[in-house]
Amino acid sequence: MPFLREGVTVRDESTALQAEFTHLEEEHGTSTLGALVADSGIGIGEWDRMYSIYATTGNILNQRLGTDLRWSGLPFDDSDVQVFMNKGKVVYAFLDRTPRHNVENLKYATPQSVVQARKFTPKPWDGGYQPPDYWRAEIESFAP
């Protein structure tokens, strides 16, 4: 019997988790990533790292995460894949299609990572139109 690799199905983005980030932005608040994930109720379970990887192939994910998994549900667009791990094993992965809640590639966030809403002022467009300011939740990352 041939060796079958363990598989991971990448899920669509969680509207419940997105709602927690949106609420933080609307309140101009600060939280931890662990609290936002827990409050969303998405049921990840225990996790110790979250990676944000721009990837459309399982080989890229395996290379960056140091895993040897069979990946399904990967994007064929400009999405990031958010990967939650616990003790080196993938426990949850989802597509972040905008992407919105990322940490830099080859770095990771933890449940204790600070998530803070920050105000951004876009540059004026040609013709003088000034787009309105907006708030975006940013996740603090840690180098591996």
Residue type at position 10: V
pLDDT at 1 over 80: no
Question: Whole-model pTM?
Answer: 0.84
> pLDDT tens digits for 58-93?
898 999 899 999 999 987 777 788 899 999 999 999
DSSP state letter for 131: P
Region 104-129: mean pLDDT is 86
Strands of the chain (E only): list them.
7-9, 30-32, 49-54, 70-72, 80-86, 89-96, 114-120, 134-139
